[in-house]
Structure 1
Amino acid sequence: MISLQDVQLRLGSGAGEVNILRGIDLAVGRGETVSLVGPSGSGKTSMIMVIAGLERATDGRVAVGGRDFGGLSEDDLSLFRRDHVGIVFQSFHLVPTMTALENTAIPLELAGRSDAFARAGKILEAVGLGHRTTHYPGQLSGGEQQRVALARAFVAEPDLILADEPTGNLDGETGQQIVELMFDLSRAHDTTLMLITHDPKLAERCDRVIRMADGRIIEDAGAPSMAAAG
């Protein structure tokens, strides 16, 4: 599902060019769950951004779902994300003037789907918000807003979900509920899940735990061995 080969990312700053990612090699299969852990500034979010096509790698090869990002235009990448990638942020990023139903339906509406609201209603039911479809983000709790964000990410049944600290703004109990929902939805749709977390218990829930430091992968616990792969 994800293939990174010698991926590097360098960005300009006032102090000159900064090496953000330093030769990342990674392969993730369909349906795998992977956590990214490491200190702030280690490159976790940048790697997620590169995999989402929101940031262009400076060097190396990035392929997701068999599509090589190197030959895709920005419009192509946007369409690819719409159809194949769901993203969940720590900040919920809901449109404040749209209801829970309207926020959830956004990816399907952009794709021109006539069943956008029917499907959005079904997945809101699945995350326990069938009774809150007409409520606006400001009328919802933090946990409810993150449920809407999850529903929006999964509504188009993407091949890949990328989550950046999805429970970071929630209390422990609410965060645990969101975690269970996220894993249940991933299993139900055979979705590849990659998430950034500082929670060791959440990280250990995943098939693999990838530890990053200084723009490099320094450990990949749970990765299949070359012998097993062969």
Structure 2
Amino acid sequence: MQTVLELRGAELVLDGNAGPVEILRGIDLSVARGESLGLVGPSGSGKSSLLMLMGGLERASSGSVRALGQDLTSMDEDGLARFRRGHMGVVFQSFHLIPTMTARENVALALELAGRPEAARRAAEELEAVGLSHRLDHYPRQMSGGEQQRVALARAWAPRPDILLADEPTGNLDSATGEAIMTLLFGLRDRGATLVLVTHAPELAERCDRVVRLADGRIA
């Protein structure tokens, strides 16, 4: 089976007030095409930082990070942005929707940046697929947390990325809405995406093909 994400000896050291802080320490990890992987562990264990390394949103201090055969550690910021635009979708815990854009415009922007045609029409179709056809022209402030998360998911998936990264996708949601988001996420995996999730929710981790536990910046 093809490997789409591979980290070898990956480390992340950030500057803190009292000096360098080791966030990730010698991570070796491979993720296969079409796999769903759950990253679990206590707060501060490095889960979200590992997800950011996978997405090229943080640069490894040492070691290597490869995605779809490309070395992310050797790319500059523009190269990383182009790579993500063509191959990755990211769902952040705090949504990161653009507040001055409607739901349709938020999703259409991702399609436009990826060079996809008929962005507005396709954005409406993606929002309908996540149950938000009645919210196309609403702004983020006019939507609930669950609705905003659905918009974020539609935006990440609309360009059909090879890899979907999600940081605590159900963390801010009630149980019913969280279950709906889980169903949507694993529906995307069934449509060919490789899925990597950071989660504290046991029920979400249990649905993954494989679970990796982190502790103190290492794979436990």
Whether the TM-score (by the shorter chain) exceeds 0.5 is: yes
1:30-58 CA-to-partner distances (Å, cap 9, x unmatched) read 11000010011111111011111011101
Q: Tell me the residue number matched to 1:38.
A: 41
**Deviation at 1:113?**
3.0
Instruction: Determine helix, strand or coil for the equivalent of 1:131.
Output: helix
Measure the CA separation in 2 of the matches of 1:72 and 1:89.
Answer: 22
Confirm or deny: 8 A CA contact 2:116 2:159 kept in the other structure: no
Q: Tell me the residue number matched to 2:118.
A: 115
Instruction: Determine helix, strand or coil for the equivalent of 1:185.
Output: helix
Measure the CA separation in 2 of the matches of 1:152 and 1:133.
Answer: 12
Measure the CA separation in 2 of the matches of 1:113 and 1:89.
Answer: 22
Q: Tell me the residue number matched to 1:228.
A: none
Q: Tell me the residue number matched to 1:163.
A: 166
Q: Tell me the residue number matched to 2:83.
A: 80
Say yes or no: does 1:15 pair with 2:42.
no
Identity across the alignment (%): 61
Measure the CA separation in 2 of the matches of 1:70 and 1:147.
Answer: 31
1:42-92 CA-to-partner distances (Å, cap 9, x unmatched) read 111110111110111011111011111132111000011111111111111
Say yes or no: does 1:61 pair with 2:64.
yes
Bigger Cα displacement from structure 2, 134-143 vs 165-174: 134-143
**Deviation at 1:142?**
1.4
Aligned length, in residue pairs = 217
Q: Tell me the residue number matched to 2:219.
A: 217
Say yes or no: does 1:47 pair with 2:54.
no
4+ aligned runs moved over 2 Å, structure 1: 111-114
Measure the CA separation in 1 of the matches of 2:115 and 2:207.
Answer: 36
Tell me how large the CA RMSD over aligned residues is.
Answer: 1.0
Pick from 113, 119, 127 the counterpart of residue 124 of structure 1. 127
**Deviation at 1:131?**
2.2
Say yes or no: does 1:178 pair with 2:178.
no
Confirm or deny: 8 A CA contact 2:114 2:159 kept in the other structure: no
Where in structure 2 are there 5+ consecutive unaligned residues?
Answer: none
Q: Tell me the residue number matched to 1:100.
A: 103
- TM superposition score normalised by structure 2: 0.96
1:145-194 CA-to-partner distances (Å, cap 9, x unmatched) read 11101000100000111111111111111111111111112212x10100
Where in structure 1 are there 5+ consecutive unaligned residues?
Answer: 219-230
Q: Tell me the residue number matched to 2:145.
A: 142
Q: Tell me the residue number matched to 2:205.
A: 203
- TM superposition score normalised by structure 1: 0.92
Measure the CA separation in 1 of the matches of 2:64 and 2:127.
Answer: 37
Measure the CA separation in 2 of the matches of 1:56 and 1:45.
Answer: 13
Measure the CA separation in 2 of the matches of 1:80 and 1:161.
Answer: 13
